[in-house]
């Protein structure tokens, strides 16, 4: 009986910690990418769908594999609100390293280039995009109505 009681107490103490860790490392939901919203409408990025296809964070998020043993949230601010209960962790957004100032540096591409390199890894050759990324406007990037020029032929 004493052994049963000890195990019950131990499990009772461990379960809340396990639940907290699980909730803290949960992937973000639908994301809105709007860094170029002055020209294009924001891209609605279905993060859960991409995670289910890719299989792991490291398939898309570079330089950090599962072997690192670190949760993605430890470095990346994918959704800061989801991780607000994280203790003693600072977050880094993609744009903190991938700035527009570094867009010509192949080792550290700008934000737009970094996003596109990741997208094209899987999406080149898919659906309407084909081998020509101009089709991206059909799938993700729609020009803002107030930015579309009128092409009138005579």
Query: If you average pLDDT over residues 94-109, what whole number do you get?
Result: 70
For 64, half-sphere exposure in the C-beta direction (CA atoms, 13 angstrom radius) is 12
pLDDT for position 94: 73
Rounded (5°) CA angle 115-118-120: 105
Between CA 50 and CA 40 the distance in angstroms is 22
- Report which secondary-structure segment, H or E, holds 144: none
Residue 115's pLDDT band, with cuts at 50, 70 and 90, is confident
More confident residue, 112 or 7: 112
pLDDT in tens, 49-100: 888 888 877 777 765 444 455 555 555 544 445 444 444 444 456 777 777 7
Between CA 48 and CA 24 the distance in angstroms is 16
Between CA 81 and CA 122 the distance in angstroms is 29
| pLDDT surpasses 60 at 151 | no
Between CA 68 and CA 80 the distance in angstroms is 21
Among 81, 114, 83, residue whose Cα is nearest residue 96: 114
pTM over 0.75: no
pLDDT for position 70: 55
Among 130, 98, 101, residue whose Cα is nearest residue 113: 98
pLDDT for position 152: 38
CATH number of 24-147: 3.90.10
More confident residue, 11 or 44: 44
| pLDDT surpasses 50 at 22 | no
The residues near 76 (Cβ < 8 Å, ≥ 6 apart) are 61, 91, 92, 93, 94
């Amino acid at each position: 009986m004493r052994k049963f009681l000890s195990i019950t107490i131990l499990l009772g103490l461990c379960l809340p910690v396990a639940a907290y860790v699980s909730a803290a490392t949960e992937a973000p939901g639908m994301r809105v990418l709007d860094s170029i919203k002055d020209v294009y409408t924001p891209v609605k990025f279905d993060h859960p769908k991409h995670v289910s296809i890719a299989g792991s964070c490291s398939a898309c998020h570079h330089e950090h594999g599962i072997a690192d043993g670190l949760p993605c949230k430890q470095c990346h601010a994918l959704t800061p609100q989801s991780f607000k209960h994280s203790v003693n962790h600072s977050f880094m957004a993609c744009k903190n390293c991938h700035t527009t100032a570094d867009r010509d540096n192949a080792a550290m591409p700008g934000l737009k280039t970094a996003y596109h390199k990741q997208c094209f890894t899987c999406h080149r050759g898919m659906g309407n995009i084909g081998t020509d990324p101009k089709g991206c406007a059909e799938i993700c990037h729609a020009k803002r109505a107030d930015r579309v020029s009128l092409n009138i032929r005579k």
